[in-house]
């Protein structure tokens, strides 16, 4: 199913580790962009469900688009939510690029483990060597667990940094 929240778990864990050097908003935006193609295929019933968008090359291109658009959209969102009144928050371009690329490449990696139709190395190889590395239920639990643990670590680290 497109736009699954499971992809956010690892992003929350990465945010906990990198703090201000990672944008969870840009990461989340990259997740949405990755699943536009599968959504369109589901709606039209035409095309390859996890097609070009779920390849390494597709992830690179979508990651670049997500960085360019996500930086602007995230800063606008922060402004609309009122965070800019407290203190200006800007997302540096390297942070936007890193966050978007981690988002798109992690998306391909996670989907490669659970979806047989993902061809991550398309153009070079049509095989999916990651398929079935772990069970889908274990993968889901790892995503949820990384999100919960990452969220707790983020709150503890953020509190310590404020001191």
DSSP string, 73-98: HHHHHHHHTTHHHHS-----HHHHHH
- Give the rounded percent of residues in the chain with a pLDDT score beyond 70: 96
Tell me the two tokens of residue 1: 């199913």
Selection from 104, 105, 109 nearest residue 139 by Cα: 109
DSSP 131: T
Instruction: Supply the pTM of this predicted model.
Output: 0.91
Angle, nearest 10°, between helix axes 93-114 and 24-34?
Answer: 40
Q: Enumerate residue ranges in the chain where pLDDT < 70.
A: 1-3, 84-86
From residue 24, alpha-carbon distances to 77, 106, 120 in Å are 12, 13, 24
């Amino acid at each position: 199913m497109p736009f699954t929240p499971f992809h956010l778990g690892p992003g929350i864990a990465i945010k906990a580790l990198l703090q201000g050097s990672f944008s969870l908003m840009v990461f989340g935006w990259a997740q949405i962009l990755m699943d536009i193609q599968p959504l369109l295929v589901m709606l039209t019933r035409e095309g390859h469900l996890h097609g070009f968008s779920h390849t390494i090359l597709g992830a690179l291109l979508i990651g670049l688009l997500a960085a360019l658009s996500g930086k602007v959209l995230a800063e606008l969102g922060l402004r609309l939510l009122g965070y800019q009144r407290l203190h200006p928050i800007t997302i540096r371009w390297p942070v936007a690029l890193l966050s978007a690329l981690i988002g798109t490449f992690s998306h391909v990696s996670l989907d490669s483990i659970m979806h047989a139709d993902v061809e991550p190395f398309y153009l070079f190889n049509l095989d999916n060597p990651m398929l079935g590395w772990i069970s889908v239920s274990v993968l889901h639990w790892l995503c949820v667990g990384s999100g919960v643990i990452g969220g707790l670590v983020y709150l503890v680290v953020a509190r310590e940094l404020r001191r």
